[in-house]
Structure 1
C-alpha cells in the first residue's frame, strides 16, 4: 500500500513538472494581451539568445532552471525573470510599452546582479530611447538626465559631481572597462564627453561608493556607459538594420550626423556606429539679472593680426568667443557565438576632437586686461581595443563568467600663451593602459556568489616645449608630469554574495582587496631642483559593503553600508600646474590614499497612480586629499612660466563629511499624461580646514509633465537651482572670476520637446530649451549655459 501511494505521488509530481515544461510560454503586450514578436530573450552574458516568433513564443528549454532571462525589445520595458517567475505568472509574460517616464528594472553596470529590485544602492538609468528623445550634445547632457550634476570649465567638457565627489573621485566605465587612468585629475575632469551618447544602449549611474565592485576612484559613484551590442539573426539567412540621424541646434549652430549599422548571421554579428559633431561659439541667454548685468558677458576677446595680439570688442556679448569645437566618434563590434556556453566579442572605440578652447581661462583678467591670447586643449584622442569572452557552465567553478582584456591609448595636451607674448607653452601627455578583468558567478539555489580579479597597468610619458608662433623656434619647457615617465599598477580580488534573508528581504555582502603601486621619475631638474629623484607608492586597501532590500506590498526599503577608497595617481603626486591666477600645484611625494565610510537609506512606495521615493546618505572622508599651502625649497612662491605663483600641493588633510538626500515622485494625471519631479540636496565640510567642500552643488531639481501616445510625445519641463552663497564656496585663485561677488545666483529654465513619427521609419524630434532666454551659469562652471535653443533632429531606420 505504501509503495502504491509513493508511486502515485511520484506520478503526479512528474506529470506536473512535465506540464510546466511543455506548456507554451507567450510574451504579450501588457496593454492589450496580444502576442509580441521580435522580443530578444537572453541570459546576462548573451550566450543563450532566443527571439519570439509571430505568436510571441520562444524555446525556453535552452535556459537553465535558475538562470535569469532578460526580455528585451527596443519599444518595451525590459524584464528579468527565471523559470519559476514565469510559472508564477501563469506562463504569460507581459511587457509594458516604454514610456519616457518608465522605471527600468535592469541595471547593466552592477557587478553583483542586474535586477534593480535586489540592489540596495541608489541607481539611475537612461535608455537608448530616452537618449534619442533628449537629443544630448554630449554625454554630459545624458548624465544630467540621470540626475547627475555636471560642471563645465569649457563648452567641450562635462565633469560629473555625485554626492559631493567629483573628477577622479568618481569612476567612468565604458563597456565594463575603467576609463579612469593615471592622469585623471582632481578638481574638474571633462573626459565624460569621450563616450558617445549616440552609440549607447543604456547609461547606468550607481550613486555612492562602488569600490568593492570597481576598486579605486569609485568613491562618489560609478557611471557605466553601455554601447550598443550586435545581435545574431535567429531567422533563416541574415538580418541587416540601418539607422541614421542628423541634428541642428541654434544656440551653438550645432551640426551633427550619425548612423548605426547592424548585420547578423546565425553565429556572427557585426555592429558599426559613427558620429560627427561640429559646434560653433555658444550663445548664452540674453535676459540678464538686474543685480549682475555684466555677469557672464563676453565683452572683449583677443585675436592675432599681423603677428600682433589685438583686443576686439565683442559686438554681441552673448556670444562666448571662443567655445566652438568638433568631435568624431567611431564604434565597431564583432561577436561570435560558438554555442550556448561560449562567445567572444571584439570591440574598437575611437574618439577624437579638434582643439577645445579652455573658456574659463580665456576670460581671466590680470591688471585690468585679458591675461591669455590662447588657452586650449589639443585634440583629445582615445583608442580602445577590447576582447571579451563569455563562458557558462564551468562545473563547480562558475555558472557564468566574463573575461575581458582591454588596451587604451590616450593623448591629451595643453597649449597656452599670454597676451603680447610670441611664445606658446605646449605640454603633451601620452598614456597607455592595459586592463584585465575576470568576473564570475555561481548559483547556489536562490543565492548567488560573485567573484573576480582585476589588474590594471598605466604608463605615462610627458613632454613639453615652448614654441615661437612667429618663427617656429622651439625651446625647452617644464613638463606637467615627471619627465622621466611614470607607471602605476593595481591588482585586486573581490567577492560578493547575494542571498535571501526571508521571502521579502534580499541581502548582498561584498569584500575587495586592492594593491596599488606608483613610480615617477624626475630626470631634468633644470627648471625645478626637486629634493627627490623619484616618487614611489605601494599600499593595499581593503573595502567592504553590506546592503539589503526589503519589499513589502507597495513598499521597498533599501539600506547599505560601505567603504570606499582612492589611491593617489600620477596627477595627484607628480603634477606641476598653474591651477588659477597666481596658484601653482606642486608634487607631493608623501601623499597617501583617501578613504570614505558611507551609509545610505532609501524608501520607495507606490500609491496606485502615484509613486515616490527618497534616499538619504552620509559619507565620512578620512585622509581627504585636498589643496593646501606648501613650500618648495623653503619658498612659498616661485616663478612659473614667467609669473610668480603661490605654491600649493595636494595633501592628506584630516577628515571631511558629506551628506544629503535625493527625492523623486511620479503621478499619472490622466490617460497618456504623467508628471514627474526630482530634487537633490547636498552639504559637506572639510572639518580640518573648516571650509566648505567644493564639489557640492546647490539644491537642484527637475519637474516635468509629459503627454505620450504611440506616435507622438510631448514634454514640458523645468530645471532649477537654488543660490550658492559665497561663504559656502571655497574660493582659490582663478575661480573667483567665474562667480559673482555674492556667489552663484539661483536660476531656472522652462523647456519643451516633442517627437512625431511621420511615417513608419521616419521620426522628427524637436526641442525648445530655455524658452525665456535667461542667462545663467551652473555652479562651478566656467562657461554660461545656452540661451534659447531650438534643436531639431531627423531620424530614419531601415
Structure 2
C-alpha cells in the first residue's frame, strides 16, 4: 500500500534498515530537508515539530533535547553509532550537542523510551542518533558534486554558510563539509526579557537596561567534517570520519542580565574533536555481518564566572575542562531464516578529564589555585555487552523483539592528583563501581493491512557520572556540592530544593545508579490518504538522582564549601553562599519519579496539492509518594502541539506551509524549577539586596541618597526613587521573605509560515516568517526568551 509518509530507521535495530511501521518502538526520523528547515541556528532546533521530543535552550549557543520529558544526562547521544555523550556531561543540558553543525548531518533519529538494552547507560528517557552525511554509493561517474548553502536570520542578525562536496569512484568515496556562522544579539518577542535581573529583583521592565536586543547573546561557530568510505572488496568496507568544531564568544546570559545579574559568565573555547575508524564485513565465517570501531572523542570548554549578583570584587573563577574518551566497539548479526535473526555486540569507553582551575582577585589581579567542578585527572570507564533476537512467529503478521544487556561503569578520583593549597589537598580519594542488567521486549501485530498494534517494555539504567559524583561549584541550577565534600559535617538531605526545605534526616551519601521500567502501547495506521499513530507510555524512574537543598547543623555560617564561604543559614539548616541566590544543593537518590505521556501524529492529504499535519504531546511527571513534580533537572515540558498545512505545486517548484505552535500553561513546577533562574526565578530579600548593592549599582541604576554617599542605607533606585526596603516590599510584598517571579510557565500560541522555491535545476531558496505575532515566551529551563518576529532566508546552490 502506498504511504503518505514513508520513514526508515537504521538505529532501532543496529545493523538493519527497517520501516518505522514494522518495529515495536517509537522513533522520530528527521531527514535532511527537515534539518534544513528547522535548524536555523543550532542543531537542537531539529526537535521542534516532533512528537515526544522538545527543544531545551539554555543559551543561544548551548542547549539540549527532551525525550519523553527527560533531558541532559538521562538521554544519551551517538554519532554514527559512536557514543558522543561523556560522563562529564552536565545534568540538565548537553553543552556540546550544538557543536555538531547541522550541515554535517544527513538525518537525526530519536529513539523514544528507555534504550539501555541496546545503547547502554543514560538512555533513561531515550537515545539521540546523529547520522553524518556520507559519500554517494560506489559506482557513480567519478565527478565532484556538492552544494553551497548560505542563510540569514533577522532574529539575531546572524549570517552563515556551509560548503559540502563529495567525490565517489568505483571503490572509494569522500565527503567534505565546512560551515561557519556569526550570530549577533537576539531580539526576543515584544523586545522584552521576561526574566531580566532588573525585572526579577527590582520589578522594572527590561527596557531599562536593553535596547530590545539581549546583550551577551552573540557567538561565532565554525568547523568542518570529512568522511571517507573505501570498499576494498565486495564484502568489506572501511570508514574513516573526523569532525572538528569550535564555538567562541558564548556566554551564559541567564547568569548575567538575563537572570542573576552577574558581570562575568563566559563560555570560552568550546571545542570538539571527534573521529572514528570502522571496519565492516559481510559473510565473516558463520556471521552475516560484522563491524568493529575505534573512536576518539575530545570535548573542551572553559567557564569563567563571577558571582555575587554582580559583585565587582568577587573572585573571577576559571574552570577549564577537557574530557577525552577512547572507545572500542564490535557487533555482529546472524540471520537464521527469513523469520529469525540475532545480533550481539559490546563496547568499552575509557574517559579521563583534565580540569585545572584557578580564581583571580579582580582588585589585586592575584590568582590562586582552586578545585574545579570535577576533580582533575578523574577517570571514568563504561561499557557493556548485549544480545538481541528478532523473530516472526507469524510471517508478515506478528514480529517480536527481545534484547538483554550487561552494563557497568567505574569512577576514580585520586587525592594525590590534587594540588596542595595551604597544606591541604582539594579533594579526597573517591571511587565507585556499578553494574546492572537491562532488557527490552516488544512486539508488533498487524491487525489488518495498514493497521499495526505495538507494545513494548524496557528497563533503563544510568550509572552515576563524574558530574553526579564529583561536582562542586556553580551550575545551571545553583551552587552544588558532592557527598565527599561535606563528609564529616553532619549534612542531611533537604525535603525540597527551595528555601522552605527541612531536613529529611537522611544523611548525604554518594549517589547510586538510577533505573527505570517503561511500558508503551501504540497504534499505527497508514492509508493512501493519511498516516497516523497514537501511543501512550509510563516510565517509572527508580532511585532518581535529584537535586535537593543541603541541610547543615546550626553554626555553619563561616565554614567553607569549596572556595565559597557559607554566608547565611536558615533556622531549618538550609545554607547559602555568595556565588548563587538559591540554597546550596546536593545530589541524592531522593526517591522515585513517574513520567507518563500521550503522543500523536497525523498526516493527511486534503487534495492533490494540500496536506494537513498535526503533532501532539502531553506529559506529566510526579513523585509517587507525594504527587508533586520531582526535582529532576530540566523540569517537564507542558502539553503542546503543532498544526501544519502544506500546499505544494505539482511541478514541485514551489511549496507554502503555514503552521501553528501551541503550548499549555505549565503549572506543575518542582521546587528546583521554582528556584531556577531560568524558570521560576526565585528572589528573596537577601538576593534583592545583593543585586541592588552590586549589579544594579555597578550598572548605574542606583544613586546616593541625602547623604551624598553611595553604598549607604539611603541609596536610591534612580528609576523610582525608592530605597532598598521599599523595593523589597514592592517586589515581594510586606512581610514576604521570598517568592518566584513566575509560579508557572505561561502558555502561548505562535503563527508561522515558510515556503520553498526552486530557482532552477541547481538552485533553491527557503523563506520563513516565524512568531509573526511577536509573542514573548520561553520553554521550561530555557535561559532566554524565544526569538520574536523574524525572517529567515536560506539559499542553496548545487554543483
Equivalent of residue 736 in structure 1, options 669, 680, 694? 680
- Alignment-derived partner of residue 323 in structure 1: 217
Report if aligned partners of 1:583, 1:733 keep a CA contact under 8 Å in 2.
no
- Alignment-derived partner of residue 792 in structure 2: 791
1:436-585 pair list within 5 angstroms: 436-446=328-338, 447-468=340-361, 473-483=366-376, 485-503=377-395, 504-522=397-415, 523-524=418-419, 526=421, 533-551=428-446, 552-579=448-475, 583-585=479-481
Mark the runs of 5 or more structure 1 residues left unpaired by the alignment: 1-88, 289-293, 302-311
The 3 A distance-change label for structure 1 pair 763 and 470 is farther
- Alignment-derived partner of residue 705 in structure 1: 645
What is the Cα deviation at residue 314 of structure 1? 5.1
Output one character per residue of 1:727-782: Cα deviation in whole Å (capped at 9) or x when no partner: 56642354532874331100111111011111111111110001111111112212
Equivalent of residue 597 in structure 1, options 502, 506, 517? 517
What is the Cα deviation at residue 182 of structure 1? 1.6
2:16 partner SS: coil
The 3 A distance-change label for structure 1 pair 280 and 690 is same
The 3 A distance-change label for structure 1 pair 596 and 528 is farther
Report if aligned partners of 1:520, 1:570 keep a CA contact under 8 Å in 2.
no
For the pair 1:173 / 2:78, whether they are aligned, the reply is: yes
1:292-307 pair list within 5 angstroms: 295-296=194-195
For the pair 1:630 / 2:550, whether they are aligned, the reply is: yes
- Alignment-derived partner of residue 654 in structure 1: 591
- Alignment-derived partner of residue 267 in structure 2: 377
The 3 A distance-change label for structure 1 pair 525 and 601 is farther
What is the Cα deviation at residue 423 of structure 1? 4.1
Report if aligned partners of 2:463, 2:513 keep a CA contact under 8 Å in 1.
yes
Equivalent of residue 535 in structure 2, options 608, 612, 615? 615
Report if aligned partners of 1:662, 1:681 keep a CA contact under 8 Å in 2.
yes
- Alignment-derived partner of residue 433 in structure 1: 325
What is the Cα deviation at residue 609 of structure 1? 1.7
The 3 A distance-change label for structure 1 pair 139 and 527 is farther
- Alignment-derived partner of residue 727 in structure 2: none
Report if aligned partners of 1:112, 1:496 keep a CA contact under 8 Å in 2.
no
Question: 1-side partners of 2:168 and 2:385: how far apart?
Answer: 36
> Could you say which structure has the greater relative contact order, defined with CA pairs below 8 angstroms and 6 or more residues apart?
2
What is the Cα deviation at residue 438 of structure 1? 0.6
Equivalent of residue 165 in structure 2, options 255, 261, 266? 261
The 3 A distance-change label for structure 1 pair 626 and 235 is closer
1:48-447 pair list within 5 angstroms: 102-108=5-11, 110-111=13-14, 113-115=16-18, 116-147=20-51, 148-235=53-140, 238-286=142-190, 295-296=194-195, 316-363=210-257, 371-396=261-286, 398-418=287-307, 419=310, 420-421=312-313, 423-446=315-338, 447=340
Output one character per residue of 1:439-470: Cα deviation in whole Å (capped at 9) or x when no partner: 11011112111100111110112111123567
Question: 1-side partners of 2:481 and 2:258: how far apart?
Answer: 18
What is the Cα deviation at residue 114 of structure 1? 2.7
Report if aligned partners of 1:298, 1:318 keep a CA contact under 8 Å in 2.
no
The 3 A distance-change label for structure 1 pair 110 and 275 is farther
Report if aligned partners of 2:313, 2:363 keep a CA contact under 8 Å in 1.
no
Report if aligned partners of 1:182, 1:460 keep a CA contact under 8 Å in 2.
no
The 3 A distance-change label for structure 1 pair 582 and 600 is closer
Report if aligned partners of 2:772, 2:789 keep a CA contact under 8 Å in 1.
yes
1:558 partner SS: strand
1:780 partner SS: coil
For the pair 1:748 / 2:749, whether they are aligned, the reply is: yes
Question: 2-side partners of 1:722 and 1:226: how far apart?
Answer: 33
What is the Cα deviation at residue 175 of structure 1? 1.4
Question: 2-side partners of 1:136 and 1:438: how far apart?
Answer: 36
For the pair 1:670 / 2:604, whether they are aligned, the reply is: no
Aligned length: 681
What is the Cα deviation at residue 525 of structure 1? 6.7
What is the Cα deviation at residue 113 of structure 1? 3.4
Question: 2-side partners of 1:105 and 1:479: how far apart?
Answer: 44
What is the Cα deviation at residue 278 of structure 1? 0.6
RMSD: 2.8
The 3 A distance-change label for structure 1 pair 728 and 425 is closer
Question: 2-side partners of 1:428 and 1:747: how far apart?
Answer: 39
The 3 A distance-change label for structure 1 pair 346 and 643 is same
1:141 partner SS: helix
1:133 partner SS: helix
**Which is further off, 132-141 or 721-730?**
721-730
**Which is further off, 180-189 or 466-475?**
466-475
Q: TM-score, normalised by structure 2?
A: 0.80
Report if aligned partners of 2:89, 2:95 keep a CA contact under 8 Å in 1.
no
What is the Cα deviation at residue 201 of structure 1? 1.1
- Alignment-derived partner of residue 774 in structure 2: 773
What is the Cα deviation at residue 165 of structure 1? 1.5
Output one character per residue of 1:481-517: Cα deviation in whole Å (capped at 9) or x when no partner: 113x211112311010011021201000000001211
Question: 2-side partners of 1:248 and 1:385: how far apart?
Answer: 30
1:165 partner SS: coil
Report if aligned partners of 2:191, 2:213 keep a CA contact under 8 Å in 1.
no
Output one character per residue of 1:610-659: Cα deviation in whole Å (capped at 9) or x when no partner: 33211100011111111123357987665454663244321112212111
**Which is further off, 149-158 or 604-613?**
604-613
What is the Cα deviation at residue 295 of structure 1? 2.6
Output one character per residue of 1:112-168: Cα deviation in whole Å (capped at 9) or x when no partner: 733123321100111112223335321111122444212222111222111121100
Report if aligned partners of 2:322, 2:353 keep a CA contact under 8 Å in 1.
yes
Report if aligned partners of 2:40, 2:153 keep a CA contact under 8 Å in 1.
no
Question: 1-side partners of 2:412 and 2:592: how far apart?
Answer: 27
What is the Cα deviation at residue 529 of structure 1? 7.3
The 3 A distance-change label for structure 1 pair 635 and 761 is farther
The 3 A distance-change label for structure 1 pair 733 and 635 is farther
The 3 A distance-change label for structure 1 pair 169 and 726 is closer
Report if aligned partners of 1:547, 1:561 keep a CA contact under 8 Å in 2.
yes
Mark the runs of 5 or more structure 2 residues left unpaired by the alignment: 201-205, 485-508, 568-575, 577-582, 683-739
The 3 A distance-change label for structure 1 pair 417 and 513 is same
What is the Cα deviation at residue 349 of structure 1? 0.9
The 3 A distance-change label for structure 1 pair 255 and 470 is farther
1:792 partner SS: strand
Report if aligned partners of 1:614, 1:664 keep a CA contact under 8 Å in 2.
yes
What is the Cα deviation at residue 686 of structure 1? 2.4
